[in-house]
């Protein structure tokens, strides 16, 4: 009963794409090994925004994914600009400083639209326009961001749910609460099974091929500290607590080659209201990125960055790390009632500390030095500007403070109108960039530069795509693209 | 209480010395989480999830909103959330408001044995308590299961005389379930639990004369609040007559009347199985009169299995059991309320759109031109083969004639809600929940909430889940029509959204 055609380790978007693809391509007995129990299933996918970045030449082609979109939005297609393969690849190159793997990145870009169509047709993933997060309001009309038009209906939760429903419908066995602990390799050099641990103890599952799709090491404090450094070692985890680098270690134990930026990860300022792991029901809504409209104070009551240096998109990564370097790895973001409506909707997941005066606010917040905090706010207000001076939240408004030791160079509006709000912030890690070397069939390559027979990988475990940063919406499409390829290759290897 | 003797003595041994409510309280107190079967957990989970959904749907309803605006209501300070809002208040007021909202649309689950709705007396009360006192999903499920047990056991003893006489069992029997569940959740001792039930006997109320009005859901709000009040009073040392149930001037003789009840049924085969495990526990899938549901199901089957397209239909014959048709025979509904009681309308909608949503019974949805066309070719009459006095009274047949002359039919002999051998699937549950929750919650909170409730027995802190029922007022953006920029008018920039 423990003999399968394909074993898939992990149960997020990439892993379930691999399982569905393996089944679609002729593997009969496919099993998904999910370490998490049923109520925590689905890996980081559950926590994701569900956004899908893909290349298309004619906006009307998107109609296949969003059949009823014109009923809802009249001039929908007029608003969307084409996003060519060159555009997509250019964006990947730009944000990774030209270091993205040339072969894998092209594979991703060229397959991206086909992958998303497959997610819908075979994967049963419902999709919707990504309007609330991708469209930006300008001159009273909405402008679509480049390449980000579609998301899974109900975001990562919906995406995960749909994948599980499809896997179950196709007769793919899903074993919850089952952790793969070791890859088994035969004398012929072929990976032929996994050792697993579940409530009943240890057992062995055999198969002709194994697909690893069980994520990076973002939830593993030892690996974070070792590979990324002590600052990110102290970060809170935004997603699943189960991505502990198990798959990476198991694969390297049978000779797989590490690849990509092992010192790199996606990390951002998030709420400090929770423990080491953000609660599952808050999904991706842990981010605290609207600091541009206020000030950030550390526990000593001092500012430590120019909050308005640039739009949050360009500062979040370094500010996330900056907060981690402050005492207690914690900061407070302070806003007044004139800007509180500008905060990202994700701020709803915290209850701010509120007060009718700055004195009262400072009393309520756990600053180590309250006098300094009040002094900092008073100093800031003495040099900050008025609404009428040209405050404009829709662009870099150039409204800079005048005369502070560390100026706030945009959106430097006084924090003047009660009530006042304080939101906690710390640094949170989303996922890691370090992975394994794979070839174009998603087969894992060994440190001897030979492919390892019977071993494939996908998702966060694919090394070499992302360095320093990644374009939003690429992670899921990469996951599904390499998952689909890995499943097909694994089925063919039988 | 005497812990030593209670562990050695089974409830049956001492029952002779106890009053009925003391005996019941002893069983409530003795119930433990480890007695929950997998089936009981699964049923409870589905019912609780459904109850949360219909409560969110009921929040904007006038009965809930008028109650909320009434001076002195929900002004007390407390930790309990009014679902779908940012407002917190005392557990008593939260139970009153959420309880009323939960029954506002009459869209909640029901028990044929009870002749009423078993979940709404319990869920609002238990969530409010859990927010204030803390608790796990499993704690709440255990309290819920024993609450259902009490409600339906009492119903077995007093129905259907109780129901036919004019009492509203959801409230008049539900209140004992509310009190029992609250006592169990608060871990009150046997004597306190008995007192709570005896106090509840004097607080029971609800008249069927007020069915069809805002006062019907108010019965449930009152039941939730008063059952909880009884438990809180008992916790504080309040007293009542221990024989308040069987006393000559007690509940049985006053509400029912001598000779109209059978107390032996209260404890017969206790826990074997639990009432929540019964096949007669059912969910309501569609937001319209339950008597139309068998016909809707048949119409949906025709659409799904025979790929019937509305445009191809030349005639629709709806043949429900006669007792189901009498109050749903509305060939041309003029108001949203008419539409809820029009078997013709709902069958036409099911055939044309494949779904029935709350919005189909709002505004002018019933005037939809395509539905109007279908209504012109629809007839309804009592099914000739389904006798009025037959055992099965919830059958229906739908016959569709296509323009090419093909006749397609579907028939079901008895379909009372969705449960037993025909439970709602996970995706059907989601469709209903999403429809309901959308009336009160921001879209991004709905799927994570559903996902948590789907594994509710594993929830370690209920207050965490309740956060997803809260709607922040701080960030509420006014809804505006979206207008897109024409292509080329603006350079498409990189998103400012950070994953």
**Which distant-in-sequence residues (6+ apart) come within 8 Å of A290 by Cβ?**
A312, A333, A335, A342, A343, A344, A347
The predicted model gives A468-480 an average pLDDT of 95
Q: Measuring CA to CA, how many Å separate A433 from each of A94, A470, B160, B217, B349? A: 16, 9, 66, 55, 51
Confidence of residue B485 (pLDDT cuts 50, 70, 90): confident
**A141, B485: Cβ pair inside 8 Å?**
yes
CA distance A487 to chain B (A): 26
Q: Residue B25: enclosing H or E segment and its boundaries? A: helix B20-30
Q: Give the nearest partner residue to B485 out of A73, A138, A347, using CB atoms.
A: A138
d(CA B48, CA B319): 34
The predicted model gives B47-69 an average pLDDT of 98
**Which distant-in-sequence residues (6+ apart) come within 8 Å of B471 by Cβ?**
B84, B85, B86, B440, B441, B442
CB proximity A137 to B under 8 Å: no
DSSP secondary-structure letter at A80? P
DSSP secondary-structure letter at B358? G
Dihedral over Cα of B161, B166, B168, B174: its sign: negative
d(CA A400, CA A413): 8
To the nearest whole number, what is the mean pLDDT of chain A? 95
- Phi, psi angles (nearest 5°) of residue A374: -65, -40
CB proximity A475 to B under 8 Å: yes
- Phi, psi angles (nearest 5°) of residue B289: -50, 130
How many residue contacts between A and B have a Cβ separation below 8 Å? 147
pLDDT > 80? residue A61:
yes
* Residues B323 and B352: beta-carbon distance below 8 Å: no
Confidence of residue B479 (pLDDT cuts 50, 70, 90): low
Confidence of residue B8 (pLDDT cuts 50, 70, 90): very low
d(CA A160, CA A152): 9
For position B477, what pLDDT does the model report?
54
* Residues A484 and A21: beta-carbon distance below 8 Å: yes
Which ipTM score applies to this complex?
A: 0.92
d(CA A173, CA A1): 12
A44 → chain B, closest CA residue: B499
What would the DSSP string read from start to end of A193-235?
A: EEEEEETTEEEEEEEEEEEE----STT-HHHHHHHT-HHHHTP
The predicted model gives A369-391 an average pLDDT of 97
d(CA A168, CA B367): 40
Residues of A in contact with B499 (CB under 8 A): 48-49, 51, 266, 284, 430, 472-473, 475
Residues of B in contact with A478 (CB under 8 A): none
For position B1, what pLDDT does the model report?
37
**B499, A49: Cβ pair inside 8 Å?**
yes
Predicted confidence (pLDDT) per residue in A303-351, tens digit: 999 999 998 988 998 999 999 999 999 999 999 999 999 998 899 889 9
**A136, B493: Cβ pair inside 8 Å?**
yes
Pairing of strands A451-457, A201-212: parallel
Q: Give the nearest partner residue to A472 out of B455, B468, B498, using CB atoms.
A: B498
For position B475, what pLDDT does the model report?
57
Residues of A in contact with B442 (CB under 8 A): 345, 348
Residue A103 three-state SS: helix
Confidence of residue B481 (pLDDT cuts 50, 70, 90): low
**A142, B485: Cβ pair inside 8 Å?**
yes
Q: Measuring CA to CA, how many Å separate A232 from each of A428, A430, B192? A: 8, 11, 53
d(CA B275, CA A230): 56
pLDDT > 80? residue A130:
yes
The domain ranges of chain B are: 11-282, 290-412
How many Cβ atoms sit within 10 Å of the Cβ of residue A156?
27
A38 → chain B, closest CA residue: B455
Q: Give the nearest partner residue to A143 out of B446, B465, B485, using CB atoms.
A: B485
pLDDT > 90? residue A68:
no
The residue count of chain B comes to: 499
Residues of B in contact with A132 (CB under 8 A): 444
For position B2, what pLDDT does the model report?
40
A282 → chain B, closest CA residue: B448
Pairing of strands A127-129, A148-152: antiparallel
Predicted confidence (pLDDT) per residue in B200-225, tens digit: 999 999 999 999 999 999 999 999 99
DSSP secondary-structure letter at B493? P
Residue A463 three-state SS: coil
Predicted confidence (pLDDT) per residue in A239-260, tens digit: 999 999 999 999 999 999 999 9
DSSP secondary-structure letter at A82? P
Fold of the B11-282 domain: 2-methylcitrate dehydratase PrpD (1.10.4100)
Residues of A in contact with B488 (CB under 8 A): 81
Which residue numbers of B have CB closer than 8 Å to A's CBs? 426-427, 430, 442-444, 446-449, 451-452, 455, 458, 464-465, 467-468, 472, 474-475, 477, 482-490, 492-499
B67 by Cβ neighbours in 10 Å (0-12 / 13-18 / 19+) ranks as: buried
For position A139, what pLDDT does the model report?
67
**Which distant-in-sequence residues (6+ apart) come within 8 Å of B139 by Cβ?**
B33, B130, B185
Two tokens at A168? Answer: 């179950």
**B493, A143: Cβ pair inside 8 Å?**
yes
Candidates B278, B316, B291; CA nearest to B408 is B316
**B482, A131: Cβ pair inside 8 Å?**
yes
First to last CA, chain A: 18
Q: How far is CA A481 from the centre of its chain?
A: 16
Q: Which of A:318-357 have CB within 8 Å of B?
A: 340-341, 343, 345, 347-349, 352
The predicted model gives A476-494 an average pLDDT of 96
Extended strands (E) in B166-294: 281-283
Q: Which CATH superfamily is domain B290-412 in?
A: 2-methylcitrate dehydratase PrpD (3.30.1330.120)
d(CA A255, CA B392): 68
Predicted confidence (pLDDT) per residue in A261-294, tens digit: 999 999 999 999 999 999 999 899 999 999 999 9
Query: B290-412: same fold as B11-282?
Result: no
Residue B61 three-state SS: coil
The predicted model gives A352-379 an average pLDDT of 98
The predicted model gives A360-387 an average pLDDT of 98
DSSP secondary-structure letter at B252? I
What would the DSSP string read from start to end of B164-180?
A: HHTB-HHHHTHHHHHHH
Q: Give the nearest partner residue to A283 out of B448, B475, B494, using CB atoms.
A: B448
First to last CA, chain B: 57
d(CA A348, CA A327): 26
- What percentage of chain A carries pLDDT values higher than 90? 89
d(CA A75, CA B482): 10
d(CA B347, CA B370): 13
Confidence of residue A394 (pLDDT cuts 50, 70, 90): confident
Residues of A in contact with B493 (CB under 8 A): 136, 143, 145-146
Q: Residue B410: enclosing H or E segment and its boundaries? A: strand B407-412
Predicted confidence (pLDDT) per residue in B119-130, tens digit: 999 999 999 999
* Residues A436 and A246: beta-carbon distance below 8 Å: no
pLDDT > 90? residue B448:
yes
For position A180, what pLDDT does the model report?
98
The predicted model gives A378-395 an average pLDDT of 95
Q: Residue B215: enclosing H or E segment and its boundaries? A: helix B215-236
A158 → chain B, closest CA residue: B447
pLDDT > 70? residue B11:
no
The predicted model gives B226-246 an average pLDDT of 98
């Amino acid at each position: 009963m423990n003999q399968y055609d394909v074993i898939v380790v992990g149960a997020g978007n990439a892993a379930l794409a691999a399982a569905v693809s393996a089944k679609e391509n002729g593997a009969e007995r496919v099993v998904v090994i999910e370490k998490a129990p049923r109520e925590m299933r689905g890996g980081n996918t559950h926590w994701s925004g569900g956004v899908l970045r893909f290349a298309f030449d004619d906006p009307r082609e998107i109609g296949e994914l969003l059949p009823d979109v014109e009923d809802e939005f009249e001039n929908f297609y007029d608003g969307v600009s084409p996003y060519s393969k060159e555009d997509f690849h250019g964006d990947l190159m730009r944000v990774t400083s030209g270091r993205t793997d040339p072969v894998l990145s092209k594979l991703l870009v060229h397959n991206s639209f086909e992958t998303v169509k497959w997610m819908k047709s075979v994967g049963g993933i419902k999709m919707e326009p990504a309007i609330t997060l991708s469209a930006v309001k300008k001159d009273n009309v909405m402008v679509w961001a480049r390449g980000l038009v579609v998301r899974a209906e109900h975001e990562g939760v919906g995406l995960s749910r749909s994948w599980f429903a499809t896997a179950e419908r196709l007769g793919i066995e899903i074993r919850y609460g089952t952790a793969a602990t070791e890859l088994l390799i035969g004398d012929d050099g072929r990976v032929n099974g996994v050792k697993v641990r579940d409530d009943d103890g240890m057992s062995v599952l055999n198969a002709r091929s194994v697909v690893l799709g069980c994520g990076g090491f973002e939830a593993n404090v030892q690996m974070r500290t070792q590979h990324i450094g002590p600052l990110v070692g102290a970060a809170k985890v935004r997603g699943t607590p189960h991505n502990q680098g198990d798959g990476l270690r198991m694969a390297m134990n049978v000779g797989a080659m590490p690849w990509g930026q092992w010192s790199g990860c996606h990390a951002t300022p998030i709420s400090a209201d929770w423990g080491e792991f953000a609660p599952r029901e808050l999904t991706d809504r842990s981010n605290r990125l609207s600091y541009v409209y206020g000030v950030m104070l550390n526990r000593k009551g001092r500012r430590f960055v120019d909050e308005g240096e640039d739009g949050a998109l360009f500062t979040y990564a370094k500010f996330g790390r900056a907060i981690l370097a402050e005492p207690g790895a914690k900061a407070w973001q302070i806003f007044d009632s004139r800007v509180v409506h500008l905060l990202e909707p994700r701020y709803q997941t915290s209850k701010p500390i509120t007060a009718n005066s700055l004195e009262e606010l400072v009393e309520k917040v756990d600053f180590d030095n309250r006098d300094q905090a009040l002094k900092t706010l008073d100093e800031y207000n003495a040099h900050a500007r008025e609404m009428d001076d040209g405050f404009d939240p829709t662009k870099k408004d150039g409204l800079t403070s005048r005369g502070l030791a560390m100026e706030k160079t945009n959106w430097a509006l006084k924090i003047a109108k009660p009530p006042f709000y304080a939101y906690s912030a710390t640094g949170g890690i989303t996922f890691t960039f370090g992975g394994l070397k794979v070839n174009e069939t998603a087969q894992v390559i060994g440190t001897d530069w030979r492919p390892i027979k019977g071993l494939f990988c996908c998702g966060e475990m694919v090394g070499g795509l992302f360095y320093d940063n990644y374009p939003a919406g690429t992670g899921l499409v990469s996951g599904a693209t390499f998952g689909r390829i890995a499943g097909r290759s694994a089925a063919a290897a039988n | 209480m005497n812990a030593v003797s209670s562990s050695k003595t089974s409830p049956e041994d001492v029952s002779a010395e106890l009053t009925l409510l003391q005996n019941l309280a002893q069983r409530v107190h003795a119930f433990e989480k480890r007695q929950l079967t997998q089936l009981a957990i699964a049923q409870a989970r589905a019912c609780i999830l459904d109850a949360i959904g219909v409560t969110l749907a009921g929040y904007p309803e006038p009965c809930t909103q008028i109650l909320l605006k009434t001076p002195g209501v929900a002004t007390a300070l407390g930790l309990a959330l009014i679902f779908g809002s940012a407002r917190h208040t005392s557990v008593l007021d939260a139970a009153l408001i959420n309880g009323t909202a939960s029954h506002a649309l009459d869209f909640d689950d029901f028990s044929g044995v009870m002749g009423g709705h078993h979940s709404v007396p319990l869920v609002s009360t238990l969530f409010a308590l859990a927010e204030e006192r803390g608790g796990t999903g499993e704690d709440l499920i255990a309290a819920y299961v024993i609450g259902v047990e009490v409600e339906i056991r009492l119903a077995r003893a007093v129905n259907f005389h109780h129901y036919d006489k004019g009492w509203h069992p959801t409230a008049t029997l539900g209140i004992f379930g509310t009190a029992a569940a609250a006592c169990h959740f608060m871990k009150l001792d046997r004597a306190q639990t008995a007192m709570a039930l005896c106090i509840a006997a004097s607080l029971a109320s609800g008249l069927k004369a007020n069915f069809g009005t805002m006062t019907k859901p108010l019965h449930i709000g009152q039941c939730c609040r008063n059952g909880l009040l009884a438990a809180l009073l008992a916790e504080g040392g309040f007293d009542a007559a221990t024989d308040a149930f069987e006393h000559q001037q007690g509940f049985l003789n006053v509400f029912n009347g001598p000779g109209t009840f059978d107390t032996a049924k209260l404890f017969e085969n206790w826990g074997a199985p639990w009432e929540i495990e019964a096949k007669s526990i059912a969910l309501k899938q569609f937001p319209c009169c339950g008597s139309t549901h068998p016909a809707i199901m048949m119409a949906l089957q025709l659409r799904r299995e025979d790929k019937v397209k509305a445009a191809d239909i030349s005639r629709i014959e709806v043949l429900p059991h006669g007792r189901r048709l009498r109050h749903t025979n509305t060939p041309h509904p003029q108001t949203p309320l008419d539409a809820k009681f029009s078997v013709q309308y709902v069958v036409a909608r099911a055939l044309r759109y494949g779904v029935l949503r709350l919005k189909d019974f709002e505004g002018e949805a019933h005037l939809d031109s395509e539905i109007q066309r279908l209504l012109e070719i629809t007839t309804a009459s009592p099914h000739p083969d389904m006798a009025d006095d037959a055992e099965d009274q919830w059958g229906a047949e739908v016959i569709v004639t296509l323009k090419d002359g093909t006749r397609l039919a579907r028939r079901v002999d008895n379909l009372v809600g969705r449960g037993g051998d025909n439970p709602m699937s996970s995706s059907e549950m989601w469709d209903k929940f999403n429809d309901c929750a959308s009336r009160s919650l921001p879209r991004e909170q709905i799927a994570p909430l559903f996902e948590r409730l789907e594994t509710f027995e594993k929830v370690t802190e209920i207050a965490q889940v309740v956060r997803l029922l809260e709607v922040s007022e701080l960030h509420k953006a006014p809804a505006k029509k979206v207008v897109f920029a024409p292509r080329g008018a603006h350079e498409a920039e990189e998103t400012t959204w950070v994953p």
